[in-house]
Amino acid sequence: MNEITYPKSICVYCGSSSQASRRFFDEAEKLGKLLAENGIELIYGAGGIGIMNAIATAVQQNGGRVTGVIPRFMVEADWHNEHLDKIIITADMHERKSTMADLSDAAVALPGGIGTMEELLEILTWKQLGLTTKPIVIVNIDGYYDPLLAMLRQAIQEKFMRTVHENMWTVVTSADDVLEAIRKSPQWDKNQNKFAAI
């Protein structure tokens, strides 16, 4: 079992589209409320629209705390939420992702576009390499992540990854199950990086 019983902060990756299905917004708002009710700080990309904005707003409306991390060029484009408890401005996207990971006790991926998927795959890569051991939860709402999960299974079947790497992530289908999935996340030993080479 993972030693984190009640994480103090969770990094959430999610989309910034304002045109995504309402069901994705509903789950983001539900997760935001759960974080606030459990005293867990939201760490996210500081976006001011879409699902990113929805989860941040839900956290704050329910008395929780939100820290946004965003590169300077996005601030200059006015893409950020100005009403957060704390905004950290980074030099670039690389620093943004590493800062978000450093500030959080776990990572959660809600549905999103290519940026969300890239963040998820990068944190999985870091875990495979032993650069992080934190829980990673994929919220597979209505099968949104089925194709990506199938691709990961295919990578294992084709010997680009090992079966043990399936323990790097946990899949749930609802925001209701995220915190329990984090608490029950399999312990990941950074020395597992010896399995990175096939």
How does pLDDT run across 125-177, given as a tens digit for each residue? 999 999 999 999 999 999 999 999 999 999 999 999 999 999 999 999 999 99
2 domain-assigned: no
E-strand spans in 76-140? 86-90, 107-109, 136-139
Mean pLDDT over residues 101-112, rounded? Answer: 98
Model pLDDT, residue 4: 46
d(CA 125, CA 168): 9
Q: Determine the residue type at 171.
A: V
Model pLDDT, residue 133: 95
Phi-psi region of 90 (alpha: psi -120 to 50; beta: other; left: phi over 0): beta
Identify the helix (H) or strand (E) that includes residue 42: strand 41-44
Picking from 5, 95, 15, 96, the residue whose alpha carbon sits closest to that of residue 54 is 15
196 domain-assigned: no
Task: Determine the straight-line distance between the first and last CA of the chain, rounded to whole angstroms.
Answer: 26
Tell me the β-bridge partners of 107.
Answer: 11, 136
1 domain-assigned: no
Query: Is residue 2 very low, low, confident or very high in pLDDT (cuts 50, 70, 90)?
Result: very low
191 domain-assigned: no
71 domain-assigned: yes
4 domain-assigned: no
3 domain-assigned: no
Mean pLDDT over residues 79-104, rounded? Answer: 97
Q: Model-level pTM?
A: 0.94
Write the CATH number for 75: 3.40.50.450
Model pLDDT, residue 190: 79
Question: Which residues form the domain of 75?
Answer: 9-183
Structural domains of the chain, count: 1
Helices (H), 38-145: 50-61, 72-76, 93-103, 114-128
197 domain-assigned: no
